[in-house]
Amino acid sequence: MNYHTKIFFLSTTCLVVSGMLLILWKYIDLFGIFLHGKGAVINLEVVWTNAILFSVLFFAIFLSLLPLFFFKESVYGVWKNFVIVAAPALLVLVFTTPESSGGFFGSTSLFDRGQMAWYGSILFLILSYIIIAVQAWKTRKK
C-alpha cells in the first residue's frame, strides 16, 4: 500500500468512526436498545459520555492526519510513534479522571471527564502539529 493511500485510509477510518460514535451518542435511545428505569441494563449517560470521548479523540487523530498528505513518509513514521504512546496515555488519563469535578466531599479534580477529553484532544492536536512541523522542517533541510 502506498503512503498516500495509507494516510487516506487512516483518515477516512478515523472520520467514519468519529461520525458513527456521534450517531451512537445521539440516537442510541431512539433504537430502544437499552431498558429504562430500575431494570436498566446500562446507564445511558455512561454510554453517551464514552461515545463522545472516543469521538473527540478519533476526530483529533483525523485532523492531525490531514497535513501528513503533504509531507514525506518519514514524517508519518515519527508522528505514528508519538500516537502509539500519546493516544493510550490520553485514554488512560481521561478514564481515570472523575466524572464530576470539585465538590465538598467528592473529588477535588480541576476538570471532569468531558473537559479532560476536550483539553487532552486539543493538546494532542497541538503536539501533533508541532511534531509534524519540526520533522517536516528537518527532512526538508536534508
Query: Higher pLDDT residue, 38 or 141?
Result: 141
- Which tens digit of pLDDT belongs to each residue from 4-39? 888 888 888 888 888 887 777 666 655 555 545 555
Phi first, then psi, for residue 72 (nearest 5°) are -75, 165
- pLDDT over 90, % of the chain: 10
E strand map for the chain: none
CA R_g for the chain: 18
pLDDT score recorded for residue 100:
64
Residue-wise pLDDT tens digits, 99-124: 665 555 555 567 777 778 888 888 99
Please tell me which residue, 48 or 126, carries the higher pLDDT value.
126
Q: Where are the domains of the chain?
A: 3-141
User: Which candidate, 49, 46, 51, places its Cα nearest to that of 21?
Assistant: 51
The CA distance from 38 to 36, in Å, is 7
